[in-house]
Each structure stands twice: as C-alpha cells, then as structure tokens.
Amino acid sequence: MREAAVSRATGETEVRLHLSLEGTGRYEIQSGVGFLDHMLALFTRHGSFDLELACEGDIHVDDHHSVEDIGICLGTAFERALGDLRGVNRYGHIILPMDEALILAAVDLSGRGMLVCDLTIPTEKVGTFDTELVKEFLTAFARKANLTLHIRQLAGENSHHIIEGVFKALARALKMAVAVSEGDNEIPSTKGVL
C-alpha cells in the first residue's frame, strides 16, 4: 500500500495529512479555507486517492500560509508514498473540460520539481479565496512532490470553473502517472533512477 503521513508545524500553520494512493476517493478535509476544501475534495475523488487533512492556520491574516503549506505537505506525501517509483507509468496527461473552461494538465514523475503554469483567471477572488493562491499551491506541490507539472488553460471565462478544472485535471493526470503497470518492477528511466 503506497501511503504517507506528513505533519508540518510553523509559526503560521499546523498541518496534519494522511494520503493513500490506492484509495477510493474518500476524504476528510478541514483546511480552514472553504474553497480549498472543495478543490481538494474534487482532487481526491477524481484521483481515486484517500486524503485526511487538518490545518490550523493564521487565516485571520489571509489564506496564503495555509494554502502554501498544504501544497507543501501534499507534495511531500506524494513523494514519500511513491517511494523509488518502480513500475509506475511515470507520465500522465489530460485535456479536461469543465463547462466553458478547458484545462490541459501533464505530469512527469521526473524527480525534478517544476511548475509551468499558463492560467488567466479573470477575477481576483472566488468568494473569499484569492485566486492567485492557485499558482502558489501548485508551485509548492510540484516542488515537494519532485515532479514536473504543466498546467495550461485552453479556454475559460468563469474563475470557479477554471480553478475546478485545474484541480480535476491535476488529479486525473496524477492518477495516470502513479498507476503501476502489472508485473513491471523497473524504474521508468534509462538512468535507472528518478
């Protein structure tokens, strides 16, 4: 069973997280940031991961520290749960429609944390959530998961739909990349290591 538990405590947040890659989409999420809870629930369900997450953060200041630290912890959990990456597909991709929005997500479990992100989110907020935090979350996640992540918005006018498409597309691409090929125990690289 590929799973990991991560805890992170700083002067700004305290995050506790448990992730299982072989899940059913079950989640218990209490981040303190309502919109992020919704996005992570979608992410968990569409990736068929199981996720337990609790965060106590300085949301009286704003949501930045909580969102970034959750991205750090979730990325760390993926990296730990994947181990040495034997037998994984390594690559995953999707072009995902969410109403008028169309999002491309591509993942390489490369061992090199990198985000390439091309989003044009038309509003600064969705409810009380600062939309600029989407990129902060994705950057923290990709770096700590040690994966290359490309996110590109191909269409979209509604900020909620665009962001929802991003989280669903990321989940579906990751689900493909982390899947293990039956009987394959090789590391998917000519280098012999990722």
DSSP H or E run through 194: none
Distance, CA of 16 to CA of 154 (rounded, Å): 35
Take residue 172 and report the two structure tokens written for it: 């579906």
In angstroms, the Cα distances linking 86 to 63, 91, 149, 177 are 37, 13, 20, 12
Write down the number of H helices and E strands in the chain.
Answer: 4, 10
Q: Are 145 and 6 in contact (CB under 8 A)?
A: no
Work out the widest C-alpha separation in the chain, in whole angstroms: 50
Query: Per CATH, is 3-178 categorized as 3.40.50.10800?
Result: no
Distance, CA of 162 to CA of 3 (rounded, Å): 29
Predicted pLDDT of residue 20:
98
Ranges of residues in the chain with a pLDDT under 50 are none
Its pTM stands at: 0.94
* Domain spans, the chain: 3-178
User: Concatenated DSSP letters for 104-150?
Assistant: EEEEE--SS-EEEEE---SSSEETTEETTHHHHHHHHHHHHHT-EEE
Predicted pLDDT of residue 1:
84
Predicted pLDDT of residue 184:
72
Predicted pLDDT of residue 186:
76
